[in-house]
Structure 1
Amino acid sequence: MNVAVVGAGAVGCYYGFLLAQAGHAVTLIGRPALVEAVGAAGLVLERAAGTASVPVRATEAGDGVSGADLVLVCVKSGDTEAAGAMIAGHLDPAATILSLQNGVDNAERLAAVLDRPVVPVAVYVATAMAGPGHVRHNGRGDLILGASETSDRIAAAFTAAGIPTTVSARAVDALWAKLITNCAYNALSALTQRPYGRLLQGEGVVAAITDVVRECVAVAEADGVSVPPDILDTVLDLGVTMSGQRSSTAQDLARGRASEIDHLNGFVVRKGAALGIPTPANRLLHTLVKLAEHKD
């Protein structure tokens, strides 16, 4: 396949590396520093088994999606519409568009910009950029792909490339489950700059996470979403299985960048308000992260 990755950050670079390593033609669309680094040394992946690089094409321009059979959109949630506008005029009519983004409404928002279907994907991977064109893998890497005419074929290609992928007609439920996990950890990890394992050791943290999860579940169920009954156990278990991971929101704050908090806890607050469900724990975390983003 010809694959384009729009928003080649930690998530996009990780999956781009594996697909390129498996023999697919990969084009990364990202920042100038990424383009320069990849042009000089290839795309580098660091993981427990060692460090390796693969040659890929990289560009800053939206026409990097031209000729792509598959387009992975991995931009931050706040950049969804801008990314859609950048690539809209260059997409092949037969290309499949996947949204590998945090939050639950990005595929819908992107589809509105592109005026074509976009397949939602729930992503379960712990990655971070160790430098331009150099991604570090910290854990997992599996995907749940929404149903479409091409989803089974794509899932087979991804699995063959070392990306465990399943197809589900209820991908929105998986996205909500991931959103709840992100709401539980991202803000707290960002505000304390602690990885999940150390975070859970803090006084009152488990109780605070429990409050956040219960609010999220109430909003999700009121919105017609099916949430696993053991979601709280799953959330808390993550702090053990991915104990060394700092959230993407923590990484954003550490770099002085705007985070996706408006599309995580902020989304739950807005949706809760629309459904008449109070969300004080989520509101407080959203407010604190927004304050931390705008330090004077």
Structure 2
Amino acid sequence: MKIAVMGAGAVGCYYGGMLARAGHEVVLIGRPPHVEAIRAQGLRFEAAAFSGTIALAAAGDASAIKGAALVLCCVKSGDSERAAAAMAPHLEATTIVLSLQNGVDNAARLSACLGRTALPVAVYVAVEMAGPGHVRHHGRGDLVIGASPEAEALSALFVAAGIPVRVSDNVMATLWEKLIVNCTLNALSAITRQPYGVLAQGAGVADVIDDVLSECLAVARADGIAIAADSRAAVQGIIDSMPTQRSSTAQDLMRGKPSEIDHLNGYVVRRGQALGIATPANRVLYALVRLLENAPAGN
């Protein structure tokens, strides 16, 4: 099967690499430094289960999607509309589009722009780009796919590639559960530039986490989302299982790149405003990360 990955960053390279190892024809669509490195030497893949080079195609233009049966959209949340516009002319009528992105509304935004359904997927993976064309996996890698006529076949495809999958008939709640974890940890890790294990030991940090978490849960309830999971336990599980991991938001700021904070704490602030729920802790974290994004280089 031809599979295209729109947005060959860490997440896209990880899942694209896993699928290519399973024998699929994979093309990674990304930025020039990664594309050039992958074309020259393949994708350098570093994980506990496998470390080596994977041969696959790479391109800098969305036209490489042509002929793909499956597209994994892995671009940053702020780029969803631009990615949809770039992909649309090259999708086949039968192409399945999956949103493997942070936040809770990317699949809906992609669907609106594409004029066709993009399926939401919750992603649980700790991964980073260690250099051009070099993906480094730190932990997990499982997916939760929303129920659909295609879900079982997609699940089988991923599982055969060594990617654990669960199909959920309430994937929006799962996406919100992940959003809540991201809101509690990502901004704090970015502001302090600390990994989760160090961050959690800070004086007063547990109270801040609880404040952020409580606000998120209040907004979710007001938005009609039933969160069944123990969110505090989920946060602690991330801290315990990935103590040396810095958040994706922290990695973005450390590299001078825009983060997804608008679609994490910023989203909770906006939904809170719309629903009449106060979100002061989320508002502070959102404001601080935005200030750091706009700080002059070297500061």
What band does the TM-score fall into relative to the shorter chain? over 0.9
Tell me, in whole angstroms, the C-alpha distance in 1 between the residues paired with 2:237 and 2:62. 40
Q: Which residue of 2 aligns with 1:184?
A: 184
Structure 1 residue 19 and structure 2 residue 39: aligned?
no
Rounded to whole Å, the distance in 2 between the matches of 1:73 and 1:229 is: 26
Shift of 1:16: 0.3
Matched residue, 1:118: 118
Is 1:279 equivalent to 2:244 in the alignment? no
2:2 matched residue in structure 1: 2
Q: Which moved more, 1:98-107 or 1:230-239?
A: 230-239
Contact (CA 8 Å) 2:177, 2:229: kept in 1 or not? no
Code of the aligned partner of 1:133: G
Report the Cα distance in structure 2 between the residues aligned to 1:119 and 1:150, rounded to whole angstroms: 9
Counterpart residue type for residue 156 of structure 2: A
Aligned position for 1:48: 48
What fraction of aligned residue pairs are identical, expressed as a percent? 58
5 Å matches for 1:21-40? 21-40=21-40
Instruction: Say yes or no: does 1:199 pair with 2:199.
Output: yes
Shift of 1:229: 4.9
Q: Distance in 2 between matches of 1:12 and 1:38?
A: 13
Map of 2:153 onto structure 1: 153
Quote how far apart the aligned CAs of 1:136 are. Answer: 0.3
CA RMSD of aligned residues (A): 0.8
Report the Cα offset of residue 52 of structure 1: 1.1
Query: Which runs of structure 2 are paired with 1:218-237 in the superposition (5 Å)?
Result: 218-237=218-237
Letter in 2 for 1:112: A
Amino acid at match of 1:248: S
Deviations 1:30-85 (Å, cap 9, x if unpaired)? 00111110011111111124521111110011111110000000000000000000
Give the deviation of 1:228 after TM superposition: 2.3
Match of 1:169 in 2: 169
Count how many residue pairs are aligned between Structure 1 and Structure 2: 296
Hey, what does 1:292 align to over in structure 2? 292
Structure 1 residue 237 displacement after superposition: 2.2
Q: Which runs of 5+ in 1 are unaligned?
A: none
| 1:98 alignment counterpart | 98
Instruction: Give the equivalent residue in structure 1 for 2:239.
Output: 239
* Whole-Å separation in 1 of the counterparts to 2:262 and 2:144: 23
**Could you say which residue in structure 2 is the equivalent of 1:65?**
65
Name stretches of at least 5 consecutive residues in structure 2 with no aligned partner: none
Structure-2 separation of matches of 1:51 and 1:132? 16
Counterparts of 1:30 and 1:45, CA distance in 2: 16
- The 1-side partners of 2:284 and 2:64 are apart by 40
Amino acid at match of 1:238: I
Please name the residue that 1:254 is paired with. 254
- Further displaced range: 227-236 or 266-275: 227-236
The TM-score with structure 2 as length reference comes to: 0.98
- Which has the higher mean CA deviation after the structures are superposed, 144-153 or 117-126? 144-153
State how far apart, in whole Å, the 2-side matches of 1:71 and 1:259 are.
23
Q: Deviations over 1:214-236 (max 9, x none)?
A: 00000001111111252112112
Aligned residue for 1:4, secondary structure, equals: strand
SS of match in other structure, 1:225: coil
Q: 1:229 & 1:211 partners in 2: Cα distance? A: 17
Paired letter, 1:244 = T
Rounded to whole Å, the distance in 2 between the matches of 1:229 and 1:161 is 28
Secondary structure at the counterpart of residue 125 of structure 1: strand
The amino acid across from 1:108 in the alignment is A
